[in-house]
Structure formats: structure tokens, C-alpha cells
Amino acid sequence: MILKSVTETDGLSIAQFMQTCLLDIDHGYYRTQKVFGARGDFVTAPEISQMFGEIVGLWLAQCWIAQERPTPFTLLELGPGRGTLMADIFRATAKVAGFHEAMQIVLVEASEQLRSLQKKSLPSAEVSWIEKISQLPEQPVFFVANEFFDALPVHQFQRQNDKWFERQIISQKGELSIGICPHASDLTQLQRRIADTSDGDIVEINLMAQKMAKALSKHIETFSGSGLIVDYGDWVSLGDTIQAVKDQKQVDIFAAPGKSDLTAHVDFAALVTDIACKHSRLVPQGLFLERLGITQRANTLAAYLKGEALQMHIAAHRRLTHPDQMGSLFKVISLYPTYSPTPAGFDYAA
């Protein structure tokens, strides 16, 4: 399918390739494959332990309380996968007075297959789906996006002298490979990367992610609210970070197009450049979860467990927080209005 679209055009940008592999109506990865869980291709934080969703839920509720409990408000999740995170948030916030009465759950999900799984995970809640941020109800929004922005398509450019040339997927004798566009790109975002790169370097630009972050920030600044973005990546990304994963193993990006997951590291600086609201510092996931009390929560849950279940629980806590596991690779940043205090977990001196 990918080969067909490449041969029918003069080559695809890396972003078009990613988008087709992930979301093609008939062949796209998120639309056809069993993506998550122990037997899926990858395991995400909410699938590792309920504690992740509980902490995120309490963070969202705390922001809502700090902003004087606006009613009604939208509880938004971007790319909810199987719906596990939202189900945990829902459960964890049940006892926060007034929160459930005021909330309207809205999800952004491109895959029909995953939408139906989300319906099953959230049976008792009133949930609706929107296609784009501009369709959000005109009211405060409290949102979370876990491993969402890494799934959005990146363009890649290679530096030659002081010009940037886009990398493309080309087909030669029926084989896919990477080529380079003969014309220099005039994308304005590339200019600011001249200062921190050298000749031959590759940079990635995620236009869709930047557009969504801008729309979310504008909504937050106008109607209030706040959001949490959790993903792997760094403050600034450099080089080719695209990776393909199948059956929890890294594979070549051309080995199984449409049948392997494709992601790219999130460039957090680019995500928050020129946004309308404020953003917090970038914090490692492990530190963020610790600050929000994951270890106390883990100890409380541990008191009810023994044997193998206890060992699994301890391993899950370690996996989410330890620097050798997800603790440092994954980062957390929050968006909040310029007129509101810094949210919990980010309000400390460097």
C-alpha cells in the first residue's frame, strides 16, 4: 500500500509516510492492529499500572480546584488508546466534590477501532469525540495527552551549508529507501535550527503537533483550564528519532509498514514556541510522579497485595519512575493560563 502511494507520486515526505502507515483507512496501524498491552506491540504507562491514571486524575482535579472549580468544564484526552487512562482518571476523581457533576468528557481519536474500545472502557460516562481542537466547547478545558504527540507525523530535513533539504521516501526497483528533495525548503521554523546544528545534521519538525499545541494554548488562555503532555523526547530534538516497533521489539521502518508502530521523539521546545498560554518547565516523568505522591500511593496499594501480585506492583512502580526505565526518557510539561498559578509538580525552584 505504501509502495503504491510512493510509486504513484514523486516520493513521499517522511510525514506523509508516517501518516499513511499509522492512519490509512484500510491499512493504517492504529486502524487495523492490536496495538496495546502485554500481547500488543507496546505497553504505555496507564497499561503498566492504575497508579499513573490516578496521579494524572488528581493533578487535573487539583488544577480545577486551584482555578476555583469552573462549571461546566471539558475533560479532554488526546489519543486515548484503549481508554485505560481516562477510566483510571474517572475512578480517581469520583470523590472530588463537584468534579464529575461539572465535567464533560471529550476525546480526540482518529481510529474507529480504538473509539469502540474507548466506549467499552468508559461505560458509565457521558463521552463524546471531536475531530479537531477548534470543536471544543467554549468552556475551560483540562486535558491530558500521553504518548499522543509522538504518534503525529514529523517532517525531516537535512542541513547542507545553511540550507535545509527535506528527506523523502522513494521507491527504487520496488524497494523503499530514503532520498532527499532536490529543492531547499523555505519553512521558517528551520531558520532557528541553524544556531544549534552543523552541516549534515538532521532535524525533525512536527507541524501537526505544533498546530495542535497552539490551538490548545489559545483555548486555555481564552477559557482557562490546563493540560499535561507526557511523552518521550527532549527539550530540543536532534537527528533522526523515528522508530518502528513490532511485538515490543524495534524493527526497520520499512520492515512492516502499517503493521509496526511508528513514533518520533517529541521536541518540547518546538511544541511550546509561540503558544498563547504559559508552559511549565520540562520535568522527567519519574520526578513528576514522585512529587505527586506515587510512592505513598504505591505503599497503600502494596498493603493489599502479596506474592506475585506484590512483585508485579513493585516492578510497575519502578518501571514508571526509575531513571533506567521510563523515569527519565519520558518527560512531562504542562500548559496553563498566564493568569493562573504554576500547577502542582512544576512549582519548585530549579
- Single residue of 143, 148, 157, 268 touching ligand SAH by CB under 6 A: 148
190 Cβ neighbours under 8 A, 6+ residues apart:
157, 164, 203, 205
Nearest to 115, CA basis, from 132, 131, 138, 100: 131
Closest to ligand SAH by CB, 170 or 292: 292
Strands, E, within the chain: which ranges?
A: 12-13, 73-78, 103-108, 127-130, 141-146, 155-160, 163-172, 175-184, 202-205, 225-234, 243-246, 249-251, 261-263, 266-267, 278-279, 283-284, 330-336
Binding status of residue 17 toward ligand SAH by CB under 6 A? no
Nearest to 110, CA basis, from 19, 182, 189, 241: 19
Distances 29 to 38, 144, 151 between C-alpha atoms, Å = 17, 23, 11
Binding status of residue 56 toward ligand SAH by CB under 6 A? no
Rounded least distance, CB 186 to ligand SAH, Å: 25
Binding status of residue 232 toward ligand SAH by CB under 6 A? no
Binding status of residue 178 toward ligand SAH by CB under 6 A? no
Binding status of residue 93 toward ligand SAH by CB under 6 A? no
- Single residue of 60, 85, 220, 282 touching ligand SAH by CB under 6 A: 85
Which window, 59-67, 143-151, 189-197, 286-294, contacts ligand SAH (CB under 6 A)?
A: 143-151
- Give the DSSP letter of residue 90: H
- Single residue of 80, 140, 258, 343 touching ligand SAH by CB under 6 A: 80
Binding status of residue 88 toward ligand SAH by CB under 6 A? no
- Give the DSSP letter of residue 42: B
Binding status of residue 127 toward ligand SAH by CB under 6 A? no
Binding status of residue 277 toward ligand SAH by CB under 6 A? no
Rg from Cα positions in the chain = 21
Binding status of residue 81 toward ligand SAH by CB under 6 A? yes
44 class by beta-carbon count within 10 Å (0-12 exposed, 13-18 middle, 19+ buried) = buried
- Single residue of 146, 197, 217, 226 touching ligand SAH by CB under 6 A: 146
SS3 253: coil
Closest to ligand SAH by CB, 130 or 178: 130
Binding status of residue 215 toward ligand SAH by CB under 6 A? no
Binding status of residue 114 toward ligand SAH by CB under 6 A? yes
- Single residue of 24, 88, 109, 221 touching ligand SAH by CB under 6 A: 109
Name beta bridge partners: 160: 163
Binding status of residue 141 toward ligand SAH by CB under 6 A? no
Binding status of residue 16 toward ligand SAH by CB under 6 A? no
Please give the residue ranges that form the binding site for ligand SAH (CB under 6 A). Answer: 22-23, 30, 36, 44, 46-47, 79-81, 85, 108-111, 114, 146-148, 151-152
